[in-house]
Structure 1
């Protein structure tokens, strides 16, 4: 199966082209997304409930109307648009207000369509509005408003974000910031230790060995050696390749309310941005390959019978063979698949190894799969 992925080419591969940035604007929009799709963000249920209690019906209706801009395919300007040092929310909103209107329009259209098209142009054509109409009437209406008055559209959006923050974010931010600071400190330490290769530590990422690439810059290879760019590949639901260097850094932005989404934005002429879920002490989000291994391991009826047999108590291989009417080598092969998928615990007593099902791993398969699909 051909891998669907976003590939970053980092040149040079040191830490200097990867920067950690906390962003109140990015977290504000993560809050708005959790408000719009609370089923995706059960950990944000308390925030969503508090927000519904304080927002008036007008702000709630406006939040729902603008929601496609901070959906799964977020508008690029709702994440840091420059690599500058820590800024306030007001400072980030001023940066959005200063964007060339053509870039602002193109970033908005990308969010509405949900594609990384870079040839949409700075204006909305009839063809683009038709595409939006095929997606949803609400998105077509946003597009029509944008085409009629892009500067007015931007002013209304920024005004809403400021109003929403005053009511439902400014008190939340001080509690979120220490969590983001702790996670950012860990990322910065890892960057100092491993350079840009630290990006391969994300659950969705890998640094493949040297070999041919696919995508718009096919034929290039991972060049940690020989002075070539470092190649980091992220499992996503579309293919793209973006270059990162001293002039176009990669910003990694932790989020609390954005979990479990893993967002990569790579609009031309702006820093590449990765928004990831800050470590809150909960279970780590699995990689796409880990989820595949677990699902594949459970497709076999015999392995399902083994899972049932070792669910409540640890059992040795010989006893499992007796219970299932199989040979010990047959049972061992199936147990090895379950162990490789990290679905069983083992412990040894003398010369005997006992197996027990990891019930929590099984229970989490549903949420884990959703976490993969939400990326």
Structure 2
């Protein structure tokens, strides 16, 4: 499953999708909500542990309780309006909150319902009927309560949410923002340099991205659902760097608004993909391949010797080894005409954390 961005010029402008279609946009509102998500799910965000501990020590209980109430809106499936709603010059938090306040109420309701249910289904809203409330009830009572309030008075829900975000920012975010902004500015400068060098295809350098051939050009992101969105000069793609959002990789593509990608740089050697984890799990399901893993765990072994040890033919062993190699679970090296195989024990050990990390994104 994947989200595909088509890089073309299907808007009103005749210019091709290029660097003009993509912008790096720092967003204090997006980073505030990344902080709030880390506060709600600290186990997913170890890099934010110090900030979370400080917030719990310094904030009053009422504000922390209110933060938990609104948590479904800034969860892993973020409400679209909590990321930049338009491209343009750098904005303050107050300006971004004002843009949410001026959002058409039907769009506010639809984006809220998307976040509550965790789906990109635009057919759900602004029709907020009993069927939607029933779905929310099956997910959690807290989401159903927000949905019921939204149905009764969406303007009041928006006003309460914006008041909370402003109050929380004053209490626990504004003092952090200068240091966060410097880190985001540094990341943004590097990303802008890549855009100048590579144009729109610099998107392929983002975590879990690929650039398969095709017309129009496209970037494919490894995600847990299928969707396609067009990036044009009239509907740009906004790249929003984050510090506290790690490890999540958020792509929002609500109709009529810019495509937004909130990203953080992967730690270590790179972000594992869900497809890599799937291939490894599939390769290990076969009992014969498990026996091969045992045979090549400690020492490199040639195919002929493995065939002798397992009582198989060399071609049979080769087919199983190919599956392990495609799953990136073995190392190979050649001595003369003989190829030796050894299990990548580190890759096997990381399989659990890699799978969990891919699911968190």
Shared fold per TM-score greater than 0.5: yes
Residue 369 of structure 1 pairs with residue 351 of structure 2: no
Q: Deviations over 1:128-187 (max 9, x none)?
A: 333323332211211222233323322221221122223333344344334433433333
Residue 7 of structure 1 pairs with residue 4 of structure 2: yes
**Structure 1: distance between partners of 2:327 and 2:40:** 34
Where structure 1 has 5 or more consecutive residues not aligned to the other structure, the ranges are: 211-221, 224-229
Residues 17 and 231, structure 2, Cα contact 8 Å, conserved in 1 = no
Residues 17 and 233, structure 2, Cα contact 8 Å, conserved in 1 = no
Which residue does 2:161 correspond to in 1?
157
> What does 1:142-291 correspond to in 2, within 5 Å?
142-210=146-214, 222-223=215-216, 230-279=217-266, 281-291=267-277
Residue 104 of structure 1 pairs with residue 90 of structure 2: no
**Structure 1: distance between partners of 2:346 and 2:47:** 18
Q: Deviations over 1:98-153 (max 9, x none)?
A: 22222222211221122223244546344433332333221121122223332332
Q: Equivalent of 1:358, from 308, 322, 344?
A: 344
Change (3 A) 1:76 1:309: same
State which drifts further: 91-100 or 74-83.
91-100
Residues 42 and 49, structure 2, Cα contact 8 Å, conserved in 1 = yes
Displacement of 1:351 after TM fit? 6.2
SS in 2 for 1:243: strand
Residues 129 and 144, structure 1, Cα contact 8 Å, conserved in 2 = yes
Query: RMSD of the TM alignment (CA)?
Result: 2.7
Residues 6 and 238, structure 1, Cα contact 8 Å, conserved in 2 = yes
Q: Deviations over 1:261-299 (max 9, x none)?
A: 2221111221111112224x4231222332222222222
Displacement of 1:328 after TM fit? 5.2
TM-score, normalised to structure 2's length?
Answer: 0.86
Which residue does 1:63 correspond to in 2?
67
Residues 209 and 221, structure 2, Cα contact 8 Å, conserved in 1 = yes
Q: Deviations over 1:191-212 (max 9, x none)?
A: 22332222233343333333xx
> What does 1:312-331 correspond to in 2, within 5 Å?
312-317=298-303, 320-321=306-307, 323-326=309-312, 330-331=316-317
Change (3 A) 1:293 1:126: closer
SS in 1 for 2:169: helix
Displacement of 1:58 after TM fit? 1.1
TM-score, normalised to structure 1's length?
Answer: 0.83
**Structure 2: distance between partners of 1:339 and 1:119:** 43
Number of aligned residue pairs: 354
State which drifts further: 175-184 or 317-326.
317-326
Which residue does 2:31 correspond to in 1?
27
Change (3 A) 1:60 1:209: same
Displacement of 1:364 after TM fit? 1.7
SS in 2 for 1:19: strand
State which drifts further: 18-27 or 321-330.
321-330
Change (3 A) 1:72 1:305: same
Which residue does 2:21 correspond to in 1?
17
Displacement of 1:347 after TM fit? 4.5
> What does 1:60-139 correspond to in 2, within 5 Å?
60-122=64-126, 124-139=128-143
Which residue does 2:327 correspond to in 1?
341
Residues 34 and 41, structure 1, Cα contact 8 Å, conserved in 2 = yes
Residues 273 and 358, structure 2, Cα contact 8 Å, conserved in 1 = yes
Where structure 2 has 5 or more consecutive residues not aligned to the other structure, the ranges are: 9-15
**Structure 2: distance between partners of 1:357 and 1:47:** 40
Q: Equivalent of 2:292, from 274, 286, 306?
A: 306
